[in-house]
Structure 1
Amino acid sequence: MQLTSDDTADHTVDAFHRGAFYVAQPARKGHRAGTDAMMLAASVPSSFAGHLIDLGSGAGAAGLGVASRCPRAHVTLLERSPEMVAYARRSIALAENAHIAARSAVVKADVRMPAKERRALVENASFDWAIMNPPFNSALDHATPDPLRREAHVMEDAGVFRDWLATAAALVRRGGGISVIARPHSLNHILEAMRPHFGRQEIKPLYPRIEKAAIRVVVRARRGGADEISLAPPLVLHEPGSNRLSQAADSISNGRASLFGD
């Protein structure tokens, strides 16, 4: 990720995938996209050519990352914060994103909206894949006076994964995919919330270093798939004794390889 010359006091325009696409995001408040968003984008197969929805998209980094990686993908960014919706629209409108703008759209809505409201905004079972990075931190662990950052990072209640995955299940067609990134301690909640709707779960642990515990898991599953779980080979993010990304992590985070190898 790098900054462009268009940075202003209140926001930056940041390059992802080594300049393949750009994201406008707040400079000093709210959530700023980085490695998590790129790992989530990389969880979608490289050959994906359908319609994808990025639930709780923020400024749109993960969803636009899919549009960048998959040239036949169409992406809808769904976000509830008016400020972040404005950033998502600004991101799509950037001249540097002209090649993905026609395949990208923004919907202002809450992921936890009632079914009637959801049907009025987006057609149920009309998407081939959904991706999400729900707020998974506790208020005690991540106290912040910034309401925009708190909304993006702090879990409102224990039902977040249940409600977000129920919305995804209503929007994704049978046989379609779902990808979720979270901290490892949320894994049990994610799998439990998936079971009524999604099967064939694949779990990819992300380790900062080979000798450290995992800091993230990416869980991928299929709508209506069989009740089975597989553990994918882990990804080690950094080279030994260095802050540099490993060769594999660099390729994945810069859009040159997929997280699950497909």
Structure 2
Amino acid sequence: MDRDSARETVDSFHRGRFHLVQPLGRGHRAGMDAMLLAALVPDTDRPVVKVADLGAGAGAAGMAVAVRVPSAQVLLVERAPEMATFARRSIALAQNAAFADRLDVLEADVALTGRARIAAGLPSDVFDHVVMNPPFNNGADRKTPDALKAQAHAMDDGLFDAWIRTAGAILRPCGQLSLIARPESIGEILTACGRRFGGLEITPLLPRAGENAVRILVTGIKQSRARLTLRAPLVMHKEGSHAFVKEIDDLNNGRTFHARR
């Protein structure tokens, strides 16, 4: 085994329906968060659905959407050159050949604005869906010595506003924003959505019944004026067990999606 291959893995998702090349022992490794984020994009019978995965990493969430939604054309947007390379290599895997032509990688900073954003390859008012899993650790927390992981996990002040501003710019009117975050970020998310997104639906994700939420799933519609809905929580595990309940297992493996109400 050569040095490079020893520092990466090829991982299976959706029970083998797609595979991902990921760094080993460094950088961000995708898991359940990415699968639940992908599950916020609904199935559709439209001939073409344009999706942007902002901060895509190796491309897990965007690929999960492409596998489940046959009409999805997905742009994986990633700032870190090394992670963008992992995304390109993931697309090129033979196991992903069936949908690879519906995926592209754009190496760009999600926080770009105006003409710089457009010049980087993110035009205004073109996407039907934007998904994002922003860095979730406070920038003041103890940082990992792994610079690649720090980029993916530590947020700067104003990050939610910058990312959600970009989502609002590139989505078409009535397009859907979907994101997964920690519960403590809810105030920043609501502020950033402001008048850009309405009809917000927030679903808490609980490890087990009666426990506090560890994540929130958020969707919103560009330019909607509908009111916020706090949905019933999703419970991940059965009581006294690490096994997923059926609904979560289905979402995690691309058998269904978390429909808006």
TM norm. shorter chain > 0.5: yes
Inter-partner Cα distance in structure 1 for 2:45 and 2:92: 23
1:124 corresponding residue in structure 2: 124
Name the SS for the 1:71 alignment partner: coil
Report the Cα offset of residue 247 of structure 1.
1.2
Counting aligned pairs with the same residue, the percent is: 47
Stretches of structure 2 that go unaligned for 5 or more consecutive residues are: none
Inter-partner Cα distance in structure 1 for 2:257 and 2:45: 11
1:56 corresponding residue in structure 2: 55
Inter-partner Cα distance in structure 2 for 1:179 and 1:77: 15
1:33 corresponding residue in structure 2: 30
For residue 12 of structure 1, the aligned residue among 1, 9, 13 is: 9
Q: Is the 8 A contact 2:200 2:221 kept in 1?
A: yes
2:185 corresponding residue in structure 1: 186
Inter-partner Cα distance in structure 1 for 2:41 and 2:56: 15
Report the Cα offset of residue 227 of structure 1.
4.2
2:20 corresponding residue in structure 1: 23
1:72 corresponding residue in structure 2: 71
Inter-partner Cα distance in structure 1 for 2:222 and 2:182: 22
Q: TM-score, normalised by structure 2?
A: 0.94
Inter-partner Cα distance in structure 1 for 2:127 and 2:168: 10
Report the Cα offset of residue 115 of structure 1.
1.7
Q: TM-score, normalised by structure 1?
A: 0.94
Structure 1 residues 178 and 261 mapped into 2: Cα distance closer, same or farther (>3 Å)? closer
Inter-partner Cα distance in structure 1 for 2:114 and 2:135: 21
Inter-partner Cα distance in structure 1 for 2:70 and 2:184: 34
Inter-partner Cα distance in structure 2 for 1:227 and 1:167: 21
Q: Which amino acid aligns with 1:137?
A: N
Q: Is the 8 A contact 1:131 1:178 kept in 2?
A: yes
Name the SS for the 1:259 alignment partner: coil
1:153 corresponding residue in structure 2: 153
Inter-partner Cα distance in structure 2 for 1:152 and 1:67: 22
Stretches of structure 1 that go unaligned for 5 or more consecutive residues are: 1-6
2:249 corresponding residue in structure 1: 250
Inter-partner Cα distance in structure 1 for 2:191 and 2:122: 26
Q: Deviations over 1:119-152 (max 9, x none)?
A: 1113211101100011121134452100011100
Q: Deviations over 1:83-108 (max 9, x none)?
A: 00000000111111111111100000
Report the Cα offset of residue 48 of structure 1.
6.8
Inter-partner Cα distance in structure 2 for 1:111 and 1:190: 16
